[in-house]
Amino acid sequence: MSRTTNLLLTLITISIFPFVTNGAVQPQHHQHAHGGGGGCIPAERAALLSFKEGITSNNTDLLASWQGQDCCRWRGVSCSNRTGHVIKLHLRNPNVTLNAYGYYDACAGASALFGKISPSLLSLKHLEHLDLSMNCLLGTNSQIPHLVGSMANLRYLNLSGIPFNGRVPSQLGNLSKLQYLDLGQPDYCYGTMYSTDINWLAKLPFLQFLSMSGVNLSGIADWPHTLNMIPPLRVIELSSCSLDSANQSLPHLTLTKLEKLDLSGNYFEHSLGSGWFWKATSLKYLELGGNKLFGHFPDTLGNMTYLQVLGISSNEITDRMMKGNHLKNLCSLEIIDLAYNKITGDIEVLMESLPQCTRTKLQKLDLSGNNFTGTLPNIISDFSKLSILSLSNNNLVGPIPPQLGNLTCLTSLELYSNHLNGSIPPELGALTSLTSLDIRRNDLTGSIPAELGNLRLGPTGIKADRLGQILSVNTKGQQLIYHGTLAYFVSIDLSCNSLTGEIPTDITSLAALMNLNLSSNQLSGQIPNMIGAMQSLVSLDLSQNKLSGEIPSSLSNLTSLSYMDLSYNSLSGRIPSGPQLDILNLDNQSLIYIGNSGLCGPPVHKNCSGNDPFIHGDLRCSNEEFDPLTFYFGLVLGFVVGLWMVFCALLFKKTWRIAYFRLFDKVYDQVYVFVAVKWASFAE
Ligand SMILES: *[C@@H]1O[C@H](CO)[C@@H](O)[C@H](O)[C@H]1NC(C)=O
Ligand SMILES: *[C@@H]1O[C@H](CO)[C@@H](O)[C@H](O)[C@H]1NC(C)=O
Ligand SMILES: *[C@@H]1O[C@H](CO)[C@@H](O)[C@H](O)[C@H]1NC(C)=O
Ligand SMILES: *[C@@H]1O[C@H](CO)[C@@H](O)[C@H](O)[C@H]1NC(C)=O
Ligand SMILES: *[C@@H]1O[C@H](CO)[C@@H](O)[C@H](O)[C@H]1NC(C)=O
Ligand SMILES: *[C@@H]1O[C@H](CO)[C@@H](O)[C@H](O)[C@H]1NC(C)=O
Ligand SMILES: *[C@@H]1O[C@H](CO)[C@@H](O)[C@H](O)[C@H]1NC(C)=O
Ligand SMILES: *[C@@H]1O[C@H](CO)[C@@H](O)[C@H](O)[C@H]1NC(C)=O
Ligand SMILES: *[C@@H]1O[C@H](CO)[C@@H](O)[C@H](O)[C@H]1NC(C)=O
Ligand SMILES: *[C@@H]1O[C@H](CO)[C@@H](O)[C@H](O)[C@H]1NC(C)=O
Ligand SMILES: *[C@@H]1O[C@H](CO)[C@@H](O)[C@H](O)[C@H]1NC(C)=O
Ligand SMILES: *[C@@H]1O[C@H](CO)[C@@H](O)[C@H](O)[C@H]1NC(C)=O
C-alpha cells in the first residue's frame, strides 16, 4: 500500500484492505480536550518556536497558527490532558506534489515544510508521536538527525517521504518504546539512504509497523533473523531495498501477528518456494512483485488462509497453474496479481480451481503476460465483484463471452494481445462502471456494437482538476508512458482487429471518453458527424481503416484533443480547421491525413478546387444534429472524468508499480498518454 495515498484512501468508499482500518496499522490517537486550564508548558512552547525557526519556508499555513500562549492549540500539536505536556506533533504534509515524472516528491511541492529538524525538539521530553512525513526537512547534510534517537518516549515516528541520504542512524535503536517506524520512501523519489546493519531494530521490542522501503539494505544477509526477533510486527514494508535473498531458513517463526509483508522490487533470484515468508500463515497481504523469483508455487501457499492480496507479478514463475489446487482454502482472496510470469495452463481450468468462496470476493485478477491458453469460460460471470480483469498478452482463443456483461463492477477489462475471435458482444455495453476497455490486437470480427455507446465510463461527481494534477506532470510534447495508473484513463482501444461496418453513431455519446483507438481494422462508412460531442477526447486514432466521405468539421469542437490520426483511409474533401486542430501533431501535420488521396487543403499540399460547399453544408448538417440536451450531458460528464478511478488505481497499483517499473523494458504493449500534453499546455 502506498504511504502517500492514505488521505485519498479515506475518500474512497471501498476498502480493499479492511485490516488497515481495524487498528492493525493505525497509529494511536491521543485525543485531548483543550478547554480546562489551557496554556502549555513554557519550555515546550519555546522548544516549538525554536523548531519553527528551523523552518525556512512559509508557503503553507501549517505553522500559521503557531502563535499565542497556548501551544496546545497550535495546529498539529497535542498535549496530554493529564500532564499538559506536548505528546504529539503531527506535521505531515497533507498535500504531496507529483514531480515531473509523476512520482511523489516532498521537495517539489509548495505545501511542504522546508528547512531542518531542530534539536530543540529534544526539549519535548514527553513526545510520543512525531510525524514530519512528506516534508523537505533535509537540514544541511540531508541525513536523518541522530538526535531523533534520543527522543526516548516516541511510540510513533514517521519520517517517510523525506528524501534523506546517508546512513540510517543506529541510534534509532534507542527508541525502545517505538511501535511505528516509517522511514519508507515513496516510489522512485527516494534519496539514497542505506544501512549495512539493522541489528538495532531488534532493540525495539514493541515495534508493530516497520517501513524502510527504498532504503538500500544491500548486503544485509540476516535481515529475516533480525525481524524474527520482533514478535509484535504486523506490517513489514521493505520494498526496493536491494535485498539479496529471502530464502534464509528460520526454524522457528515468531512473527505470528504478521499481516502485511511487502518485499517487492528486491533481487531475490531464488525459487519462490524457498522464501521464509511461507511460514507466516497469518499474512493477509503478500507482495513479492519484481524479484526474479522462479519455480513453482509451494504447497504451503494452501495454508495461507487469511490471504487477501497475493501479488507475485513480474517474476519468473513457471508453474502450471493450480496443479496442486493451491488456492482451495484461500477464501479471503480479493486480489490476485500474477502478471508477467511464465505461468502456463488452461484459463478455464484455472477459473474453475478458484474456490467457490472467492467468487463473491475477488476484485482483481491480473494474469496478463503469461502463457495461459484456452477459451474464457462462462463462469467468469460468477466473480461478481471483479473490478479489474486483465488477461492480456496470453494465448487465449475463442470468443469474448457475453457473460462478461454481467460483471457490472468491472472498471478495467484488458484482453489485448490474445487470439480472441468472433464479434464484440453487445452485452459489454452493460458494464456501466468501465473506464478502460482494451481488446486490441485480437482476431475480432463483425461490427462495433452500438451498445458500447451505453457505457457510462466512470462514475460521476468527480473533480476533474485532481485528475488534471496527475496528468499535468508531463513535459510538453512528450508522450508519457504510464504503468498501472493509466489503466484507469478513460479509454476504448479496439485497434488491430478485423472489425467491419460503420463506426456506430451511438459511440459519440461517450462524452467522458478520453482515448478512442479504432486503428487498423476494416471499418467503412463515414466518421460520425456527431464526433464533436465527445468533449473529453484527447486522443483519436482512426487510421488504417476504409473510412470514406468528408471529415466532419465538428472535430474542431474537440477542445481537448491533442492527438489525432486519420491516415490511410479513403477520406475526401476539405480538411477542416480550427484552433485545436491546427496545433495537433505540429511536427508534421500532414501525417495525420496521409494516405487519403481525396483530401485537400492545408496541411496537405493539394488545393481544393473552386467553390467550397463543404463548410456550409457541414455547418448546416451539424446544426441539425446538434442536440442541446446531449451536449449539456456531455459537457457535465466530460468534466467529470474518473478521479475516483485514478485514485482507485493508485490504491491498487502503487505497490505494483515497482514491479511494473522493472518490467518496463519487457512490456511491448505500452500505453501512451497524450493527455499529458494537453494538460501541460493548459497549465501554462
Ligand atoms: C506515514 O505518513 C504517510 C503520509 O505522510 C502515511 O501514508 C503513512 O501511512 C504513515 N505511516 C504510518 C505508520 O502511519
Ligand atoms: C483526555 O480527555 C479525553 C476527552 O475528555 C478523554 O477521553 C481521555 O481519556 C483523556 N485522556 C487522559 C489521558 O486523561
Ligand atoms: C511566516 O509567516 C509569518 C506570518 O504569516 C511571518 O511573520 C514570518 O516572517 C514568515 N516566516 C518566513 C520564514 O517567511
Ligand atoms: C492542496 O493544494 C491545493 C493547490 O495547491 C490547494 O488548493 C488545497 O487547498 C491544498 N489542500 C490542503 C489540504 O492543503
Ligand atoms: C543510543 O545508541 C547508541 C548506539 O546505537 C549508543 O552508543 C548510545 O549510548 C545510545 N544513547 C542512549 C541515550 O541510550
Ligand atoms: C545499494 O548499495 C549497494 C552497495 O553499496 C550498491 O552496489 C547498489 O547499487 C545500491 N543499490 C541501489 C539501488 O542504489
Ligand atoms: C538462497 O538464494 C541464493 C540466490 O539468491 C543462493 O545463492 C543461495 O544458495 C540460497 N540459499 C539457500 C539457503 O537456499
Ligand atoms: C498446513 O498446515 C497444517 C496444519 O497446520 C500442517 O499440518 C501442514 O503440514 C501444513 N502444510 C504445509 C504444506 O505446510
Ligand atoms: C505457451 O504454451 C504452449 C503450449 O502450452 C507452447 O507451445 C508455447 O511455446 C508457449 N509459449 C511461450 C511463449 O512460452
Ligand atoms: C447474465 O446476463 C444474462 C444476460 O446477458 C442474464 O440472462 C443472466 O441471467 C445473467 N446471469 C447472472 C448470473 O446474473
Ligand atoms: C475462432 O477460432 C477457432 C479456432 O481457434 C475456430 O474453431 C472458430 O471457428 C473461430 N470462430 C470464429 C467465429 O471465427
Ligand atoms: C492505436 O493503436 C495502434 C495499434 O495498436 C497503435 O499503433 C497506435 O499507437 C494507437 N494510437 C494511439 C493514439 O494510441
Query: 282-313, pLDDT tens digit by residue?
Result: 999 999 999 999 999 998 998 999 999 999 99
Alpha carbon dihedral 246, 324, 234, 236, in 10-degree steps, equals 30
Task: Kindly give the distance from the C-alpha atom of residue 150 to the centroid of ligand 12, in angstroms, as a whole number.
Answer: 57
Residue nearest to atom 12 of ligand 7 (CA): 247
Answer yes or no: is the C-beta of 70 below 6 A from any ligand 7 atom.
Answer: no
Q: What pTM does this model have? A: 0.81
**For residue 274, how many other CB atoms are within 10 A of its CB?**
16
Nine-digit cell at 189? Answer: 523519489
Task: Kindly give the distance from the C-alpha atom of residue 87 to the centroid of ligand 2, in angstroms, as a whole number.
Answer: 13
The DSSP symbol for 404 reads G
Q: Choose the residue to mutate in 396, 421, 498 for probing ligand 11, maximizing ligand atoms within 8 Å of C-beta.
A: 421
The SS3 call for residue 201 is helix
Residue nearest to atom 3 of ligand 7 (CA): 270
User: Mind listing the pLDDT tens digit for each residue in 200-259?
Assistant: 999 999 999 999 999 999 999 999 999 999 999 999 999 999 999 999 999 999 999 999
Answer yes or no: is the C-beta of 585 below 6 A from any ligand 11 atom.
Answer: no
Answer yes or no: is the C-beta of 627 below 6 A from any ligand 8 atom.
Answer: no
- Sort residue 333 into left (φ over 0), alpha (ψ -120 to 50) or beta: beta
Ligand nearest to the CA of 300: 8
Q: Is the pLDDT of residue 531 over 80?
A: yes
Answer yes or no: is the C-beta of 221 below 6 A from any ligand 3 atom.
Answer: no
Task: Kindly give the distance from the C-alpha atom of residue 240 to the centroid of ligand 7, in angstroms, as a whole number.
Answer: 19
Task: Kindly give the distance from the C-alpha atom of residue 247 to the centroid of ligand 7, in angstroms, as a whole number.
Answer: 6
Answer yes or no: is the C-beta of 371 below 6 A from any ligand 2 atom.
Answer: no
Least confident of 66-70, 173-177, 318-322: 318-322
Ligand nearest to the CA of 423: 11
One-letter amino acid for residue 673 of the chain: V
Q: Is the pLDDT of residue 637 over 60?
A: no
Task: Kindly give the distance from the C-alpha atom of residue 539 to the centroid of ligand 12, in angstroms, as a whole number.
Answer: 10
Q: How confident is the model at residue 474 (pLDDT cuts 50, 70, 90)?
A: very low
Ligand 4 atom with least separation from CA of 60: 14
Ligand 5 atom with least separation from CA of 152: 13
- Sort residue 641 into left (φ over 0), alpha (ψ -120 to 50) or beta: beta
Task: Kindly give the distance from the C-alpha atom of residue 329 to the centroid of ligand 10, in angstroms, as a whole number.
Answer: 28
Helix (H) or strand (E) holding 260: strand 260-262
Residue with cell 536491494: 242
The proportion of the chain whose per-residue pLDDT surpasses 90, expressed as a percent, equals 58
Helix (H) or strand (E) holding 649: helix 643-663
H and E: helices and strands count for the chain: 10, 33
Q: How confident is the model at residue 617 (pLDDT cuts 50, 70, 90)?
A: very low
Residue nearest to atom 6 of ligand 6 (CA): 218
The proportion of the chain whose per-residue pLDDT surpasses 70, expressed as a percent, equals 75
Q: List Cα–Cα distances, 237 to 283, 292, 422, 676, in angstroms.
A: 13, 18, 45, 32
Checking DSSP bridges between strand 539-541 and strand 563-565, what pairing results, if any?
parallel
Q: How confident is the model at residue 354 (pLDDT cuts 50, 70, 90)?
A: confident
User: Mind listing the pLDDT tens digit for each residue in 405-451?
Assistant: 999 999 889 999 999 999 999 999 999 888 889 999 999 999 999 99
Answer yes or no: is the C-beta of 173 below 6 A from any ligand 5 atom.
Answer: yes
Residue nearest to atom 3 of ligand 5 (CA): 171
Q: State residue 148's pLDDT score.
A: 95
Asked if residues 591 and 616 have their Cβ atoms less than 8 Å apart, the reply is no
Helix (H) or strand (E) holding 615: helix 613-625
Q: State residue 668's pLDDT score.
A: 25
Task: Kindly give the distance from the C-alpha atom of residue 410 to the centroid of ligand 11, in angstroms, as a whole number.
Answer: 26
- The pLDDT mean for the chain works out to 79
Which of the pair, 470 or 547, is modelled with greater confidence? 547
Q: State residue 249's pLDDT score.
A: 92
